[in-house]
Structure 1
Amino acid sequence: AVPYLQGITLTSAWFLKNLQSSASACWLYSNLTACQALGNMCVMNMNSLSSSTTDACGLFQYIYVNTARLGIVHSISFWRHDLPWLYYGDQPGLASQVLEANHLFIISFFSHHQDVKLQFIAASFDAAGNFLKWQSLEGGILQLCPDTQTKLNAAYTFGTTYQQSCQISVSKILLDFANPIFYDLFLEYNGNNGQQYLWAVPVLNLNLQYSEMFVNQGSNMNNWLLTRRLFLVDALSGKEDDLGKLPRVIRIASKITISIRLVSHTQKGTIYPPLVTVAYTDVLIQNPETQSVMISFSVNYEMDQSEAQIQTDITLGVLGGLAVLWSLLKTAGWKRRTGSSIVDLQTVLKFLLFYAGDLANVFFIITVGTGIYWLVFFKAQQFVSVLLPLPSQEEDFVTYIACAFSLKALQFLQLLVSQLSIDIFFIDWERPKGKVLKAVEGEGVIRSAAAPVSIWRTYFIANEWNEIQTVRKINPFFQVLAVLFFLEVVGFSNLALMDSSSSLTRSSESYIAPWSRILRFGMSAALWLAIAFLQIIFFSVIYERFVEDKISQFVDLCCMSNISVFLLSHSCFGYYIHGRSVHGHADTNMEEMNINLKREA
């Protein structure tokens, strides 16, 4: 009987026909083909081990334990002579030793002119245990989703994070994979002496059960039971009565992930042994033409990020402490300007608002620094020493950005309230010219009074004051347009892809790796800051000096209009523009104004 995840247990015609005969031939005669067939039936059962010894894996383990006299192959204690290598040990607990005790020298540098490939090869067998051939994994051997050869082979380019997914019809799967093929994976690499070696690639089968428990589905490596052999589609063991009929259930490798980890502090591209993680989906056949299954294949590159996290935490602690001191200084300055010496609730609230803005700057500095660090050290490295964080390892980075945005929004609201509460006074120094006769209401008499001064100059200055409220050292429209131009037209956005290429252009036929959130933020922030810095230099050094300086023009206009501006931002602090004219009068005709200007010249 073959158990499936949907609670279905059926009597397999293939197992009924071949299980006992293969086990007997393997046990009694050490027949290699029969042992391979028995191993394949164990793989069809998801390599699951239980107390029962009557299933394929139980029979295989019985033969394995009782054939120690046959010796081992290539000094590998898990590999018996005349038996396929299916398990790394007979119980969980050896995964950390297998995955971390050995280092493989793969690549010494990133080539910017030629992609460096990981040389995965596979020994393939049919269900009856016959060896078929050795073959490279290039060409989509493990990738069920169809695509071009170039995009399929990009999965094995070192440093390129690869993701592929699609929806495949069950009828197509039954047509293309009528007979299962089993693969033993190896990685070809060069040793320190330059000689080529093969390293057996372990498999983490998420459907494997050990004593009725899915031990491989947790994150604790010490609970894993690693295996060796895998298949893509099993449409054979699900046939109940007749091997010539359609199966009742098929089992599909719906998710395959190849994980490659870089050894910490390496300068020569040394990696730990790769790990292939497989998750199978059982499909109950009802109407193959309408049924479909989601398939995904991915290759992830990772490294230990604990040291980088510690450095980030230290930086956050130091800058956060400095932000506290800076906020205290700003709060003390605010207290002096308000003329108050009492530490009350308003003072505490003001300190928290100041600290929110300063802490937002700290988070921004850390995120920009982190983004630029990974952008430079990953894309520009020649000797492989760092790999990008996985999306799951970017959560702290995303949290920092969210904190920076939230705290900056709070500071923006506080700044908006402060600007709305500023008192602005326009002081008109113009003195009346002569006297006019004016009727006094209620008395019926006419008296002479000082001639009134026109209010229109004050209105004009107030209007000009409103217009310069949006004057900046940068042009926002040009800033956004320039950043988009460099990102999308020049191609700087391609530097944010999770691959080793530093090219700004990509071919439409080539594989496009997924975006890295850290690289995207780092690239965008670096461009934004660089263009803003250049604009500030241009406006300060060239434009305001040789074209126009609107702030200086406003001050000159105040002097010509004989009006001063007094801005009271706090109770005891403000700003003053002295606009009193040296000529005494500004409310005059054009001729007198022209004479006054000639005097200044």
Structure 2
Amino acid sequence: MVWPIPVWNAGLNGITNPISSTNALRRFFLVDGISGRIGNISNPPTYITVATSLTLSVYVTTGATWDQPPFQLTIQYQRIPSISRTAQVSFAVTYSQSQGTYKRDTDIALAILGSLAGLYAILETSSWIRRSGQQNIGIMVIIKFLAFLSGCLANTFFLITLGTAIYWLIAFKGQSSAVHVTLPPAGGQVETDFIIYLSVAFALKTLELIHLLVTQLTVSIFLIDWEKTKEKIISGLQEKSHASIWRTILVANEWNEIQTVRKISPMFQLFSVLLLLEVVGLKNIATKDLSLNLNPPIGTYLAPWSIILRYGIAASMWLAVGILQVLFFIVIYERFFEDKVRQFTDLCSLSNVSVFILTHRCYGYYIHGRSVHGQADVSMETMLINLKKEEENLCPLRGLEPSSDIQTFEVLLSDRVRDQYEKIIEPLYEAPRGHRKMNENNSLMQQRIKTYHTINRFLSSFLDHVYREMDYIVKDKLFLEHILNMEFQQPVERTFFFNDDSARFSRSLFYSNELVLLLFDTLLFCIIDLGTQNFMLATIITYIVQKLVEILRYHIGRKNVSRQTMVEENFLI
């Protein structure tokens, strides 16, 4: 089939050349030596007009028929004053395609996913209101809703940008010779929207990370010591010796250590992604041609980078390496090497110390560390004998209930228990921590010690069902409650302890928030590369930001642990 090729003279018609314009010409010339002759045609020309730029535009249809001419030749001319001078001539072929359907599909996806994100943010806010015991909608509820909404919308924009990039990778790079799908033009509406969506996703994910840090750095945590005082006979007199504080310090140190534990290794993540992109050469797939050569020879022509394809390759590799690390950590490393979260629960049992965590006003977690042997401040020989008894099932189970070995629980406190807890702990926050002298005559220190023992007695008595008006029941969560991460029944008269064999208390740590951290790292790496077009620089900056976030979480979290558990910060090493 023979197609007519309209000619667009950029000097006559302007640079903007709609491919379907009716002002196109039918003929063109490459060199004009006649127009520059003045006076007589036999006179030498004062200048020569040369076609210095020829661009053949090919319009690729998305349907069975063409709604406009498939070809157009755009020519730019230049006057050369001297016949002896040379001119640089360029020829290029560009492909274009209607992007209307892609824009429409993206808008539909954004509307649907954005609506779902808004609904999920409302559910999260409703759960927070229930767990915080809020009765009215105030400024704090609005702030929480916006924080939850930012996280949901960040995931929405990330899914849209990632889906768009992967689509263009498969649809464009999957072509062999005949071109049926073209990339969006540089600076066009599709690429501009893509950059905006990616920037918005990063900004919202940053807000979600800040909200996560603020939430984790303000949790209330108390270590319940179950150890009883010992009676000793000294010089014929019976005296009581207090339990050692070192077991509590040991548990506080271990909690402080696991605050920043993640399911992936950030250093391995950065090294692997950089290796795949730069050394293996996957970055070369992001060019604007159909080449899939990972290591093109030196000196060969390299097409310009495509922003969309470059993001698709970088984000895909980052997520792939991250997901593989998480799977390896869960399936292999935790099972056969080390599970720090489960080990922390075992340490609590060996130390005879329970952990009471409140992430909301009336909601939190409880780790039952009460020793089944009664005491943990014993000799090495006695401890080994006790462990042998547990191994041979010669002693009760470690669980909170006699017939259960479940040690971790989700807690939904009644208002009465929470009010009593706040009343007891209030003097602790009123007493300033500037006094460091370990002097028994120091009234502030005595007040802190008295408050500590009062809280310890109250919580231990509460767990032993001493207070009938502040009792609790242990139950399982409904399946839908697990899915929606909220509780349907409110603890009006009794507190609820929900069995938790999945150690959900790790939600107050980095450990169970790997998705937020992984997506933040992905967006940070890609947004830096978007601005610099340099994977090495993006790797360095991402590593620096990762370390800053980890240091911030560790040091402020350490101060919070010291303030909440009354273990001096000097002992948290």
What range is the shorter-chain TM-score in? 0.5 to 0.7
CA distance in 2, matches of 1:450, 1:235: 115
Task: Please give the secondary structure, in 2, of the residue aligned with 1:488.
Answer: helix
Call closer, same or farther: CA 1:222–1:521 in 2, change over 3 Å.
closer
- Structure 2 residue aligned with 1:429: 226
TM-score, normalising length: structure 1: 0.58
Call closer, same or farther: CA 1:483–1:344 in 2, change over 3 Å.
same
- Structure 2 residue aligned with 1:260: 58
- Structure 2 residue aligned with 1:388: 183
* CA positional deviation for 1:347: 1.4
Tell me, yes or no, if structure 1 residue 312 matches structure 2 residue 67.
no
* CA positional deviation for 1:326: 0.6
Call closer, same or farther: CA 1:225–1:561 in 2, change over 3 Å.
same
The superposition leaves residues 66-89 of structure 1 with CA deviations (integer Å, 9 ceiling, x where unpaired) of xxxxxxxxxxxxxxxxxxxxxxxx
Task: Report the more deviating stretch, 313-322 or 377-386.
Answer: 377-386
Equivalent of 2:216 in 404, 419, 426: 419
* CA positional deviation for 1:283: 7.0
CA distance in 2, matches of 1:234, 1:468: 78
* CA positional deviation for 1:595: 1.9
Equivalent of 2:146 in 339, 347, 352: 352
Pairing 1:73-152 to 2, within 5 Å after superposition:
none
- Structure 2 residue aligned with 1:598: 388
Equivalent of 1:274 in 47, 50, 71: 71
Pairing 1:430-579 to 2, within 5 Å after superposition:
430-434=227-231, 450-579=240-369
* CA positional deviation for 1:258: 2.7
Contact 1:216 1:223 in 2 (8 A): no
Paired residue type of 2:221: I
- Structure 1 residue aligned with 2:7: 203
Pairing 1:62-77 to 2, within 5 Å after superposition:
none
CA distance in 1, matches of 2:360, 2:88: 64
Call closer, same or farther: CA 1:392–1:432 in 2, change over 3 Å.
same
Paired residue type of 1:366: I
Task: Please give the secondary structure, in 2, of the residue aligned with 1:426.
Answer: strand
Tell me, yes or no, if structure 1 residue 216 matches structure 2 residue 14.
yes
- Structure 2 residue aligned with 1:172: none
Contact 2:60 2:70 in 1 (8 A): no
Contact 2:157 2:200 in 1 (8 A): yes
CA distance in 2, matches of 1:416, 1:243: 82
Call closer, same or farther: CA 1:420–1:254 in 2, change over 3 Å.
farther
* CA positional deviation for 1:235: 7.6
CA distance in 2, matches of 1:337, 1:458: 28
The superposition leaves residues 67-113 of structure 1 with CA deviations (integer Å, 9 ceiling, x where unpaired) of xxxxxxxxxxxxxxxxxxxxxxxxxxxxxxxxxxxxxxxxxxxxxxx
Tell me, yes or no, if structure 1 residue 376 matches structure 2 residue 170.
yes
Contact 1:234 1:251 in 2 (8 A): yes
Equivalent of 1:338 in 126, 129, 132: 132
Paired residue type of 1:412: L
Paired residue type of 1:434: E
Call closer, same or farther: CA 1:223–1:275 in 2, change over 3 Å.
closer
CA distance in 2, matches of 1:344, 1:219: 56
- Structure 2 residue aligned with 1:75: none
The superposition leaves residues 292-323 of structure 1 with CA deviations (integer Å, 9 ceiling, x where unpaired) of 99986543212111011111111111111111
CA distance in 1, matches of 2:252, 2:50: 75
The superposition leaves residues 168-187 of structure 1 with CA deviations (integer Å, 9 ceiling, x where unpaired) of xxxxxxxxxxxxxxxxxxxx
* CA positional deviation for 1:509: 4.2
CA distance in 2, matches of 1:331, 1:595: 49
Call closer, same or farther: CA 1:293–1:316 in 2, change over 3 Å.
farther
How many aligned positions are there?
A: 386
Call closer, same or farther: CA 1:435–1:543 in 2, change over 3 Å.
same
* CA positional deviation for 1:545: 0.7
Paired residue type of 1:402: S
* CA positional deviation for 1:345: 2.3
Contact 1:368 1:522 in 2 (8 A): yes
- RMSD of the alignment, in Å? 3.4
* CA positional deviation for 1:341: 2.5
The superposition leaves residues 8-46 of structure 1 with CA deviations (integer Å, 9 ceiling, x where unpaired) of xxxxxxxxxxxxxxxxxxxxxxxxxxxxxxxxxxxxxxx
The superposition leaves residues 340-370 of structure 1 with CA deviations (integer Å, 9 ceiling, x where unpaired) of 1212222122112211110110111111111
* CA positional deviation for 1:505: 3.6
Task: Please give the secondary structure, in 1, of the residue aligned with 2:155.
Answer: helix
The superposition leaves residues 137-188 of structure 1 with CA deviations (integer Å, 9 ceiling, x where unpaired) of xxxxxxxxxxxxxxxxxxxxxxxxxxxxxxxxxxxxxxxxxxxxxxxxxxxx
Pairing 1:13-24 to 2, within 5 Å after superposition:
none
Paired residue type of 2:6: P
- Structure 2 residue aligned with 1:322: 116
Contact 2:231 2:238 in 1 (8 A): no
Call closer, same or farther: CA 1:280–1:425 in 2, change over 3 Å.
farther
Task: Please give the secondary structure, in 2, of the residue aligned with 1:391.
Answer: coil
CA distance in 1, matches of 2:68, 2:31: 30
- Structure 2 residue aligned with 1:302: 96
Contact 1:251 1:282 in 2 (8 A): yes
Contact 1:201 1:274 in 2 (8 A): yes
Q: Which has the higher strand share?
A: 1
Call closer, same or farther: CA 1:294–1:553 in 2, change over 3 Å.
farther
* CA positional deviation for 1:457: 2.2
Call closer, same or farther: CA 1:424–1:206 in 2, change over 3 Å.
same
Task: Please give the secondary structure, in 2, of the residue aligned with 1:434.
Answer: strand
Tell me, yes or no, if structure 1 residue 581 matches structure 2 residue 368.
no
* Higher alpha-carbon Rg: 1
- Structure 2 residue aligned with 1:194: none
* CA positional deviation for 1:332: 0.3
CA distance in 2, matches of 1:425, 1:595: 29
Task: Please give the secondary structure, in 1, of the residue aligned with 2:354.
Answer: strand
Tell me, yes or no, if structure 1 residue 225 matches structure 2 residue 23.
yes
Identity %: 47
Tell me, yes or no, if structure 1 residue 402 matches structure 2 residue 402.
no
* CA positional deviation for 1:327: 0.7
CA distance in 2, matches of 1:295, 1:360: 47
CA distance in 1, matches of 2:205, 2:211: 10
Task: Please give the secondary structure, in 2, of the residue aligned with 1:570.
Answer: coil
TM-score, normalising length: structure 2: 0.60
* CA positional deviation for 1:252: 5.8
Contact 1:495 1:503 in 2 (8 A): yes
Q: Which has the higher helix share?
A: 2
* CA positional deviation for 1:592: 1.9
The superposition leaves residues 263-316 of structure 1 with CA deviations (integer Å, 9 ceiling, x where unpaired) of 11259x99943222233455778xx99xx9998654321211101111111111
Contact 1:257 1:300 in 2 (8 A): yes
Paired residue type of 1:216: G
Task: Please give the secondary structure, in 2, of the residue aligned with 1:421.
Answer: coil
Contact 1:363 1:404 in 2 (8 A): yes
Where structure 2 has 5 or more consecutive residues not aligned to the other structure, the ranges are 392-573
Contact 2:7 2:26 in 1 (8 A): yes
Contact 2:20 2:69 in 1 (8 A): no
CA distance in 2, matches of 1:403, 1:353: 14
Call closer, same or farther: CA 1:589–1:254 in 2, change over 3 Å.
farther
Equivalent of 1:361 in 134, 155, 159: 155
* CA positional deviation for 1:232: 5.8
